[in-house]
Structure 1
Amino acid sequence: MARLPRLNLPNIPQHVVQRGNNRQVTFIENTDYAVYLDKLKQYAQEYDVHVHAYVLMTNHVHLLLTPTTANGVSKLMQSLGRYYVRYFNHAYQRTGTLWEGRYKSTLVDTERYFLLVSRYIELNPVRANMVSHPAEYIWTSYHHNALGKQIELITEHALFKTLGLSEQARHACYRALFKREIPAKTLADIQSATNKMWVLGSEHFKQHVEALTGRRATPVPRGGDRKSEAYKKQFSDQ
């Protein structure tokens, strides 16, 4: 079956995930993380992509990006991925692939999901039981978005700037969001949309994306017993 074309639209945020092949380690020393972030900044500037949130885990990365062109994220990820593989293979005297095929991505409905996805990304080390609080993890944008540490890589999204009139107020408001857990269903929705590369958002947002891209934003409903309550509910809820 031919794979669907990737959903790319200018000025709409994307949640991007790239994993190590077979979940192998992609970062070993602190220098590795630093090199990746430095090149992420370089290629983000080159392809005019705004980086709003990130976390670098030991075997995968999460990014929240807004491109200004339709192919900005694709170009960034291709250039960054190729550079980092060459760097990693040279540093550790290895050959072959490092990343697990294509990176995963989903378009993010700004109003409903942008801040949720940002929190989802920065809470990864907590969910992985690596730390008890995101502030304890070094390789994350939490230090900029929540604590006010200036990270040149980060471009604050317009929605983030509505959190307060001053920098201090915005950071405090953002920190307060972490006092509430992300509901399990929302976590599952974010993970499913990203891994399957569908759209994360309201029905109106999905229809808007479909109209702009000419491709489906959600999977085709599976067939089933049309007399069953589950089947009827599937369409009554839409």
Structure 2
Amino acid sequence: MARLPRLYAPDIPQLAQVNFAHPLALPSDPTPAAKLDNLALWLREIVHEQHATVHGWVLLNDRLTLLATPAATNSLARLIQAFGRRYASRLQHGRVFASRYRSALIQPGQWILPTLVWLDQLPVQLGYVDKAEAWPWSSASYHTGTAHDPHSLVTDHPDYWSDGNTPFERQAKFRQRLGQGLAPAEAIQIERALFGQWALGKPAFLAELHAQASRRLTPATRGRPKKAQAVEPQDKTATSS
């Protein structure tokens, strides 16, 4: 099956994830803090060099996950490629990524904050830590205000900014969101959009976005198209009663 072309639409955030070909450590090993520190430093350098707009991020032993608003069609691809080149030249020679990165368009005003919660909670969901803020290699500590962000990667999305009148109010609300977590159905929708490489949003958003997107936004209907039902020719010899 031919792989899907990259999905892009102007000014629409993308959730992206790429898996490493060789994990930094096994689950039973100690946390590879020095390697993660280096990866976070290189990611920060690339984000600043490319003037990228990143709203959330997390580095784990086996992956990089980002929520970003690309400035152009290939901006996100350039960022991930630059990260891979730096990784390959300084840490892991040879193949860096297990496969192409996956991405999904995320509807502002509806799905940005749930997606940030999903992203910042990944270390908890995958058993790295008990609290999202305890994982230093993510945007959770920035969003919750529990620690200074030494990596300076995040540009607030307007949805996060409008979630409170002051930084303290926004951080408190995000801590509450992380504590409540997502409903299982929300997490499933985010993961399906990411792994299927589709758009996530309400029908009206998808309909409006359709004309701007680089390809179709949702999966095609399964099965063959229905055949049009044949119309029986009218019997010209019949007479009306």
- TM-score bucket of the superposed structures, by smaller chain: 0.7 to 0.9
The superposition leaves residues 68-88 of structure 1 with CA deviations (integer Å, 9 ceiling, x where unpaired) of: 222211111111112112222
Judged with a 3 Å threshold, the aligned counterparts in structure 2 of structure 1 residues 214 and 98 are, in CA distance, closer, same or farther, namely closer
Match of 1:124 among 122, 136, 145: 122
Instruction: Give the match's secondary structure for 1:119.
Output: helix
**C-alpha deviation, 1:218, in angstroms:** 0.4
The superposition leaves residues 77-105 of structure 1 with CA deviations (integer Å, 9 ceiling, x where unpaired) of: 1111121122222xxxxx43121121111
- Count of matched residue positions in the alignment of Structure 1 and Structure 2: 219
The superposition leaves residues 141-162 of structure 1 with CA deviations (integer Å, 9 ceiling, x where unpaired) of: 1111002534221111111111
Task: State whether structure 2 residue 28 is matched by structure 1 residue 30.
Answer: no
Unaligned runs of 5+ in 1: 90-94, 227-238
- Aligned partners of 1:174 and 1:42: how far apart in 2? 26
**C-alpha deviation, 1:17, in angstroms:** 0.5
1:236 corresponds in structure 2 to: none
Mapping for residues 116-195 of structure 1, pairs under 5 Å: 116-147=114-145, 149-151=147-149, 152-195=152-195
Judged with a 3 Å threshold, the aligned counterparts in structure 2 of structure 1 residues 203 and 141 are, in CA distance, closer, same or farther, namely same
Instruction: Report the structure, 1 or 2, having the larger helix content.
Output: 1
Contact 1:48 1:67 in 2 (8 A): no
**C-alpha deviation, 1:139, in angstroms:** 1.3
TM-score normalised over the length of structure 2: 0.83
Judged with a 3 Å threshold, the aligned counterparts in structure 2 of structure 1 residues 26 and 12 are, in CA distance, closer, same or farther, namely farther
| Higher relative contact order, structure no. (Cα contacts within 8 Å, ≥ 6 residues apart) | 2
2:69 corresponds in structure 1 to: 66
The code of the aligned residue for 2:102 comes to K
Contact 1:207 1:217 in 2 (8 A): no
Contact 1:148 1:168 in 2 (8 A): no
Instruction: Give the match's secondary structure for 1:189.
Output: helix
TM-score normalised over the length of structure 1: 0.84
- Aligned partners of 1:82 and 1:202: how far apart in 2? 37
Q: Percent identity?
A: 27
**C-alpha deviation, 1:182, in angstroms:** 0.9
**RMSD, aligned α-carbons:** 2.0
Match of 1:107 among 105, 108, 120: 105
The code of the aligned residue for 1:112 comes to Q
- Aligned partners of 2:46 and 2:160: how far apart in 1? 23
